[in-house]
Structure 1
Amino acid sequence: MTATAATTDTTAYVGIDVGTSAVKAAAFDAGGRTLAVESRPVGLDIKDGRVEQDMDEVYGAVVDVLAAVTAAVPGPVELIGLTGQGDGVWLVDDSGRPVRPAISWMDGRAHALVDAWQESGVLASVFRRNGGAMFPGSPGPVLAWLDRHEPASLDAAAAALTCKDMVFQRLTGTRATDVSDASMPFLDPRTRTYDDEVLQALGIAHRRGLLPPVSDPAATGELASGTRIASGPYDLAACALGAGVTAPGDGLLIVGTCLASLVATRELDLTGEPAGLYISTDRTGQWLRAMPAMVGTAALDWVLRTTGVQHTEVDALLDATPPGSHGVRVLPYFAPSGERAPFVEPRLRAELTGVSLESTTADLVRATCEGIGFAARHCLDAAGLSGSLAICGGGTRSPAWMRLFAEVLGRPLRIVEGEVGARGAVLASAERHGVELDTAAWTAPTAVVEPDPERSEFYAQAYEEHLERLAGSRARARAART
């Protein structure tokens, strides 16, 4: 590794990942080994389809974890990388303080707008311009909803930011976003600047002044302590960097609250069904074709809470019932804002079928995990996966679920454990600050899971049946809009 002259054997590199339900800071040594991790939970205010967060609570958690992880390492912190949840709207004043609670990416209040735009063709026209399929919690619909129903909040705001950009402004005083966070839905992926025609189509051109400047490459700064920091990319793209997914065709599956599928590409294809988005990267002409589904560990968490099962019991339950879960099937679309990838259907809801008095808790848990696996395959197919596949996120803590994913997807999985988003944030920051790190060592998988051929063959047929059930459910959701 080549770095600055101040680097020592005890030098640490810190990544901050501002997640939806927790804020984490992870410190690494020069070889990418984890030295310390600190985490603080943050709340979600969920009511009537609306999901909001307290910005001061989130920022306070960032300050706490950064102080704690810095105190836990033996030497100096060379630099900091910042990443965080994307989408939503975080309205701030000139000093970066909140104008109102943040509206989360999980929020569903703008679903009627999305329904109307879908029917009128606005969604499709925006997708044809920038490759971003809007959903209720993305900035376009949220800003349009606020403009119609809560204009005083927009009038009082100096900027409409995303999460990490709010944190970066509070830490450094600099207001900016990067090309990854700007990708949905206002950035032209070819010019890497805001597209005024998109703003016009959404009826919010008069609010353009709220959009932060796009820093390309990502903004850098210093903390009060003098430690260097860089902002971006946001969590999906940061995880791709942290998992070593940069070669065209290679993919990443993030099994977290959001089930995000990403495939690296040099091709910008704006045809086909409007879904997902193209995330611009810090390299011009390279994108991540992203399918960030609303499906994820939140679906399994709901099932576990409802059945009274602990997370520590999941592996045993998955091993207690065979593939196919004795006929129990789950369409795992539990999010109040429906689904956003690989299709947009705000009114889609979860379905449980095939249950009888003979069904067991193990059947229900396995059927849920299988349903999430089918959703992942749907997203990865739509994103154009052709190379190797890495997998990260909280779901990797379940070896049985990882075997199930490998079987459903029919391919080997490179397991990348730990704080992958924070790791990617450090790598991005190091590049911005001219600090060379051994990327291969930092992104090496912790294990590789091979699929069982017979089970993969079974799941290939089960996947086709899943798509048929999903088509019927989507048709019912569309009918509910009329």
Structure 2
Amino acid sequence: MYIGIDVGTSMVKAAAFDGTGRELAVAARPVGLALHGGVVEQDMEEVYAAVVAVLDEVTSGVPEAVELAGLTGQGDGVWLVDQEGRPVRAAASWMDGRAHELVDQWLADGTFETVFRRTGSAMFPGCPGPLLAWLDSREPKALDAAAAAVYCKDMVFQRLTGRSRAATDVSDASMPFLDPRTRAYDNRAVELLGLTHRRGLLAPVSDPLATAQTRGEGLPPGTRLANGPYDLPACALGAGVTAPGDGLLIVGTCLASLVATTDLDLTGEPAGLYISTDRPGHWLRAMPAMVGTAALDWVLSTTGVRHEEVDGLLAESPPGAHGVRVLPYFAPSGERAPFVEPRLRAELTGVSLESTRADLVRATCEGIGYAARHCLAAAGLTGSLAVCGGGTRSPAWMRLLADVLGRPLRVVEGEVGARGAVLAAAERYGVALDAEAWTRPTAVVEPDAGRAAYYAKGYEEHLARLAEARERARR
């Protein structure tokens, strides 16, 4: 039995697989987010307790011995821990917007672009650079008390194994301090953000992945565990996206577009990031838009629609949603891909007394699809496209997405991030697994030619509306 652990933003999951990649059991626990005034934080002890609980559940339900385990989780944010991996303060989430004024300042004075040209990372308010700089000016005692500023999965790895020193991997370290060419921290980037005196807080980068044996919480003592990569590259592994040009769209809380590449191009508009992988010279060009299913969740809760009604409502409203349009930029910290606009907000237009709930739902799904198309184009998609995440549970939305994107979708269902975490762990430990069998799609959704042509025009209109919205956001 192989165990994959995926510590998500709102849900912590553990999945057990057999040697062929078949899911044997899945356990999940929700975790909370504290939102107030643009600040978004998480209780690390609640997150860790959820990890232990799902591991206890999934291992007790399957009698086989655990061969090894792999760990992945949400990226970005700042998780300040002491020497034992215990929290110094609440974790600042990747969704946090408190540092937006710093990002605005760095955009204006050129720091933002300079850092991108060095690291391939376009900063946004919820990434470690701005958050650490904000905490350094507002909460310096918290940084003084910390042994390390890590990422979510790194905290969990240290606690599960009892290691005395924090560690991260090249994927998590990619935002925003890692030089993708040398796979080491760029001290000049640290200096540009005014954090040289906090350089010691950056967790050492383990390359290859850090490994250790567990100490007995959640997993049997002595279980082999590998730390990383974080959830976006783990999903790429779990979906079989490794060949240059192939892409992955994750329709989850975050709408993430990833394209595998061997071409490191730090020119063009600074946006998204290059995620270093466990293979030197191979990167994922990532355009992780801030809001995916969270945008639809907001519309559903506001209109009183249940998730199970979505497919039916999508059938009630035609393409174009009777003129209703949604720019789906709902995040309090604005947008980060395929452009950075901290003050951008969502817009709902074309609504009248004749508009229905079905129109609002369809317009939101179409808007998310247009945002995904924008991100995938910017990331350089030329090959096949896989799709995973919670949105895949809606067949009607998958058909709509295929039409909006104008290309077939390789749908990969199940716990894709956990699956990728296992594949990464197996590679690290030298355990041979059939990656093709583990990543086989569950379905292929083809676009309708007529609807795809309609949405191609709609996409151009979306880009025009977006350009106007960005201008308003800058005033």
Is the pair's TM-score, using the shorter chain for normalization, greater than 0.5?
yes
Instruction: Determine if the alignment matches structure 1 residue 140 to structure 2 residue 139.
Output: no
- 1:81-230 counterparts in 2 under 5 A? 81-174=70-163, 175-224=166-215, 225-230=221-226
8 Å Cα contact 1:238-1:421 kept in structure 2: yes
Task: Write the distance in 1 (CA, Å) between the matches of 2:466 and 2:140.
Answer: 38
Task: Write the distance in 2 (CA, Å) between the matches of 1:311 and 1:73.
Answer: 31
Task: Write the distance in 2 (CA, Å) between the matches of 1:97 and 1:131.
Answer: 31
Letter in 2 for 1:184: M
1:428 maps to: 424
8 Å Cα contact 2:259-2:284 kept in structure 1: yes
Percent identical pairs in the alignment equals 78
1:42 maps to: 31
2:276 maps to: 280
Cα distance, 1:93 vs structure 2:
0.8
Instruction: Determine if the alignment matches structure 1 residue 314 to structure 2 residue 310.
Output: yes
- 1:440-479 counterparts in 2 under 5 A? 440-479=436-475
Task: Write the distance in 2 (CA, Å) between the matches of 1:332 and 1:187.
Answer: 30
8 Å Cα contact 1:140-1:202 kept in structure 2: yes
Of 342, 345, 361, the residue aligned with 1:346 is: 342
Task: Write the distance in 1 (CA, Å) between the matches of 2:463 and 2:207.
Answer: 40
1:407-455 residue CA offsets vs partner (Å, 9 max, x unmatched): 0000000000000000000000001111000100000000000000000
Residue ranges of structure 1 left out of the alignment (5+ in a row): 1-11
Task: Write the distance in 2 (CA, Å) between the matches of 1:298 and 1:47.
Answer: 17
Of 386, 392, 411, the residue aligned with 2:382 is: 386
Task: Write the distance in 2 (CA, Å) between the matches of 1:267 and 1:173.
Answer: 38
Of 18, 28, 34, the residue aligned with 1:29 is: 18
8 Å Cα contact 1:295-1:375 kept in structure 2: no
2:228 maps to: 232
Letter in 2 for 1:165: D
SS in 1 for 2:16: strand
Task: Write the distance in 2 (CA, Å) between the matches of 1:407 and 1:19.
Answer: 29
Task: Write the distance in 1 (CA, Å) between the matches of 2:272 and 2:302.
Answer: 30
1:219-263 residue CA offsets vs partner (Å, 9 max, x unmatched): 000012111000000000000000000000000000000000000
Task: Write the distance in 2 (CA, Å) between the matches of 1:121 and 1:467.
Answer: 25
8 Å Cα contact 1:176-1:219 kept in structure 2: yes
Task: Write the distance in 1 (CA, Å) between the matches of 2:411 and 2:83.
Answer: 43
Of 47, 71, 75, the residue aligned with 2:64 is: 75
8 Å Cα contact 2:162-2:214 kept in structure 1: no
Cα distance, 1:137 vs structure 2:
0.1
1:345-398 residue CA offsets vs partner (Å, 9 max, x unmatched): 010000000011111110000000000000000000000000000000000000
1:282-308 residue CA offsets vs partner (Å, 9 max, x unmatched): 000000000000120000000000000
Cα distance, 1:95 vs structure 2:
1.3
Letter in 2 for 1:241: L
2:403 maps to: 407
Task: Write the distance in 2 (CA, Å) between the matches of 1:409 and 1:462.
Answer: 11
1:320-346 residue CA offsets vs partner (Å, 9 max, x unmatched): 111000000000111100000000001
Instruction: Determine if the alignment matches structure 1 residue 253 to structure 2 residue 249.
Output: yes
SS in 1 for 2:168: coil
Instruction: Determine if the alignment matches structure 1 residue 395 to structure 2 residue 391.
Output: yes
Task: Write the distance in 2 (CA, Å) between the matches of 1:272 and 1:255.
Answer: 26
2:218 maps to: none
Task: Write the distance in 1 (CA, Å) between the matches of 2:86 and 2:3.
Answer: 25
Task: Write the distance in 2 (CA, Å) between the matches of 1:387 and 1:203.
Answer: 40
Task: Write the distance in 1 (CA, Å) between the matches of 2:325 and 2:348.
Answer: 6
Of 4, 9, 12, the residue aligned with 1:20 is: 9
Letter in 2 for 1:432: R
Task: Write the distance in 2 (CA, Å) between the matches of 1:228 and 1:94.
Answer: 22
Cα distance, 1:67 vs structure 2:
1.1
1:180-201 residue CA offsets vs partner (Å, 9 max, x unmatched): 0000001000000000000000
SS in 1 for 2:444: strand
8 Å Cα contact 1:241-1:424 kept in structure 2: yes
1:154-173 residue CA offsets vs partner (Å, 9 max, x unmatched): 00100000000010111113
1:8 maps to: none
Cα distance, 1:133 vs structure 2:
0.1
SS in 1 for 2:40: strand
Instruction: Determine if the alignment matches structure 1 residue 365 to structure 2 residue 361.
Output: yes
Cα distance, 1:130 vs structure 2:
1.0
Letter in 2 for 1:38: A
Task: Write the distance in 1 (CA, Å) between the matches of 2:59 and 2:210.
Answer: 22
1:1-33 residue CA offsets vs partner (Å, 9 max, x unmatched): xxxxxxxxxxx1000000000100000000000
1:61 maps to: 50
2:237 maps to: 241
Letter in 2 for 1:370: E
Task: Write the distance in 1 (CA, Å) between the matches of 2:108 and 2:469.
Answer: 18
Please identify runs of 4+ aligned residues in structure 1 that moved more than 6 A.
none
SS in 1 for 2:466: helix
Letter in 1 for 2:151: T
Letter in 1 for 2:115: V
Task: Write the distance in 2 (CA, Å) between the matches of 1:155 and 1:130.
Answer: 26
How many matched pairs?
468
1:196-227 residue CA offsets vs partner (Å, 9 max, x unmatched): 00000000011000011100001000012111
Letter in 2 for 1:65: V
Task: Write the distance in 2 (CA, Å) between the matches of 1:87 and 1:123.
Answer: 17
SS in 2 for 1:77: coil
